Structure 1
């Protein structure tokens, strides 16, 4: 009776090289069904093909050998799914970071100057949420705060696009005050929401177009313009979300105004 599939036959069926199969055997990841004690030849069974294919796919996704071993060792389908899902999430996060870096580099390589205008913004009272936030928490905090403002003030009560004010320390120290707000007809206190008086400001303003992955490039170009053409003053960075993720899921249509506080030397 034939002892089973030879390592060469098994390699052809699973698309795992003979060398890889030997390494998996040595690591205790995929052991042959039997090994001839005289010749040392390895033999596999047809039942081992599915787990070998699972290993092949997991390794294509760069799952570490130790994690692959844990996935194969568990008899709990839910735990197995959790292990695989956790690695897939890490891959998706890494892919998102890679895509963001590619977008930013392409933006940097594009020639041309940033269009900037000087604008005087009048004082106004808005419905706002303010808190001290660390930079890693900023995106989550922003989403939660904006959702709270959206719920409190439906679209028909708003008088303009939402905005944000961000203390310089948030970027320089990684910890600072964040304020997000809606201009509304009758701002009032509600939960975390307060009626906030925004002072007048002179700003150098540019528009960032598209997703926010490379917004730092636009910030840099605006800063370079300000250094060359105006005097900066202490104050938070201003952002106005003309079109954003809550308006459309088409990120190429997003438009974000960035305002840098300046001291105006001459009128427009």
Structure 2
């Protein structure tokens, strides 16, 4: 028999870890002296100890190893376990490669896009009900007129807006040849209502988006849109719907444009 210190040297497993293995039932001493508390291990436990070290090196956690019950483990079972672990690790490698690509792209962009770098995420936005007004305008600043029309019409028919106090604007088309911008403005509502001649009510399903939230004026929107389009391509995604802006703090709430909070959203899917 080997004392715990001797067994530790032979297996390259620290005494602290051997005690932990005993505690979780992974590798228990063959004998414990009741009077001294000394732990003793036998020679036939050395192969099990080596297997534990080997499995740890392959990325198995202690809980996983304990569940394998190595002393009763059949080779066929171990083969299946290793095949499954390989699949898990291959998926982890894909995730790590994607993360490395994102970091490398961010590092390159730091020289030219300092404010936007590390600001884009992908997320799912939930279902929502909206009151919508869609019109063609000639200049971007005319969007404010659409918000007033939508607000006046909803007030007229006593529409209750959602407690989520933000607005959404979608630019469906920018036609430079015919000099118009096809814009839709939306406010969230609690219920479903009958359409009017001016305002339409409908539900929008949840979707995956690339999102960037920034503080400041709308003059930055062009550069942000261009950077986001590049980021989406670099990260193996493609745009699958019209981009839209969510206004959390807008001219409706704040005079100073430096305090505006806007989320730029692009519906995306994997390429």
Q: Normalization by structure 2: what TM-score?
A: 0.50
User: Counterpart of 2:190?
Assistant: 185
Which of the residues 225, 242, 245 maps onto 2:231? Answer: 225
| Deviation sequence 1:56-104 (CA, Å, 0-9, x none) | xxxxxxxxxxxxxxxxxxxxxxxxxxxxxxxxxxxxxxxxxxxxxxxxx
1:165 aligns with 2:170: yes
1:199 aligns with 2:205: yes
Structure 1 unaligned segments of length 5 or more: list them: 1-107
Taking a change above 3 Å as real, the CA distance of residues 171 and 253 of structure 1, as seen in their structure-2 partners, is farther
1:120 aligns with 2:121: no
| Deviation sequence 1:191-239 (CA, Å, 0-9, x none) | 4111023233211000132011121111122112111113213311121
Residue pair 1:114, 1:222 contacting (<8 A) in 2 also: no
User: C-alpha distance in 2, partners of 1:243/1:235?
Assistant: 24
User: C-alpha distance in 1, partners of 2:227/2:184?
Assistant: 24
User: C-alpha distance in 2, partners of 1:254/1:223?
Assistant: 22
3-state SS of paired residue (2:254): coil
3-state SS of paired residue (1:170): strand
User: C-alpha distance in 1, partners of 2:215/2:176?
Assistant: 24
In the TM superposition, what are the counterparts of 1:119-268 in structure 2 within 5 Å?
119-131=123-135, 133-134=136-137, 136-140=138-142, 142-151=143-152, 152-153=154-155, 157-160=161-164, 161-167=166-172, 169-170=173-174, 175=180, 177-188=182-193, 189-264=195-270
3-state SS of paired residue (2:191): coil
Structure 2 unaligned segments of length 5 or more: list them: 1-110
Residue pair 1:120, 1:201 contacting (<8 A) in 2 also: yes
Q: Compute the displacement of 1:172 (Å).
A: 7.2
User: C-alpha distance in 2, partners of 1:139/1:111?
Assistant: 27
Larger radius of gyration: 2
3-state SS of paired residue (1:166): strand
User: C-alpha distance in 1, partners of 2:231/2:113?
Assistant: 17
User: Counterpart of 2:9?
Assistant: none
3-state SS of paired residue (1:157): coil
3-state SS of paired residue (1:145): helix
Residue pair 1:202, 1:264 contacting (<8 A) in 2 also: no
| Deviation sequence 1:102-157 (CA, Å, 0-9, x none) | xxxxxx966351511111123322111012x25x33421x2122112223258973
